[in-house]
Structure 1
Amino acid sequence: MILIYGIKERLNPIKGRLSDVIHGSMRDVLGMPEDKRAHRFIPMEAVDFYYPGGRSDAYTVIEINMMAGRRPETQKTLIKTLFERIETELGIRPVDVEITLHEQPPHCWGFRGMTGDEAADLKYQVKV
């Protein structure tokens, strides 16, 4: 599950393209399948979205929730790939993007009526 926050006037026009960039990065770096896209966009009013100094109104926050198991090198590659592609494909500078990875043990995930540690049919590897 990925949550993306930003000022609505800046975020709404690019949602589809940003979703494609994020999912393409997840596929290329983590091996996620094409049909494993779970993005939630949270466009906010400017008065409700405070951000650090030195940023523009393009400031975008991306929170990636995933099962634990990826190596630190893989996680860093994902973050750097996202920075690069978001800048190249959407023109948003890395200073205007904040990315956090939140990992939870598989037993803390619930989907399709089971917990993540019970799922034996995932179409992707968690330990990459």
Structure 2
Amino acid sequence: MVVTGLAGTLEPRVPALSEAIHAAAQEAFGLPAEKRFHRFVPLPRELFLHPRGEDYTIIEVSMFTGRTTQAKKAFVAAVYRRTAALGLAAEDVEITITETPRENWGIRGVPGDELELGYRVDV
């Protein structure tokens, strides 16, 4: 997961945003507590050009294919609900989900479709 925003606005929110996004993934996808892979990209104003306000935040999720439309919509709704509790308006949060077949991933030295996950993707 990659979260991008203005440096001075995003940086103080990193712990709370990470918690909110991960809780949404646990709720919607049944993701285990230890499966938190977040990257935060705080950018200076001159490198983050957009027509929105100071709070504009982009959340990009990269995951294996297999989750249902219902689960993905539940995740999006949970992210909006949890980020609203942090004071972020829905207009300031943009979420994209990119799905890739497991065989197109390389993780811990093996293709993703050979990896023992310990959790389900088909939710």
Same fold, judged at TM 0.5 (above):
yes
Band the TM-score falls in, shorter-chain normalisation: over 0.9
**TM-score, normalised relative to structure 1:** 0.93
Aligned-partner Cα distance in 2 for 1:57–1:102: 25
Amino acid at match of 2:55: A
Q: Which runs of 5+ in 1 are unaligned?
A: none
Aligned-partner Cα distance in 1 for 2:117–2:30: 11
Structure 1 vs Structure 2 CA RMSD? 0.8
Match of 1:126 in 2: 121
Task: Give the superposition deviation at 1:51.
Answer: 1.7
Residue aligned with 2:54, SS: coil
Task: Give the superposition deviation at 1:112.
Answer: 1.0
Residues 62-118 of structure 1, C-alpha deviations (whole Å, 9 max, x = no match): 000000001111111101110111011x10001000000000000011111111111
Q: Structure 1 runs of 4+ off > 6 angstroms? A: none
What is the percent sequence identity of the aligned residues?
38
Match of 1:42 in 2: 41
Count of residue pairs brought into register by the alignment: 123
Residue aligned with 1:98, SS: strand
**TM-score, normalised relative to structure 2:** 0.97
Q: Which runs of 5+ in 2 are unaligned?
A: none
1:57 aligns with 2:54: yes
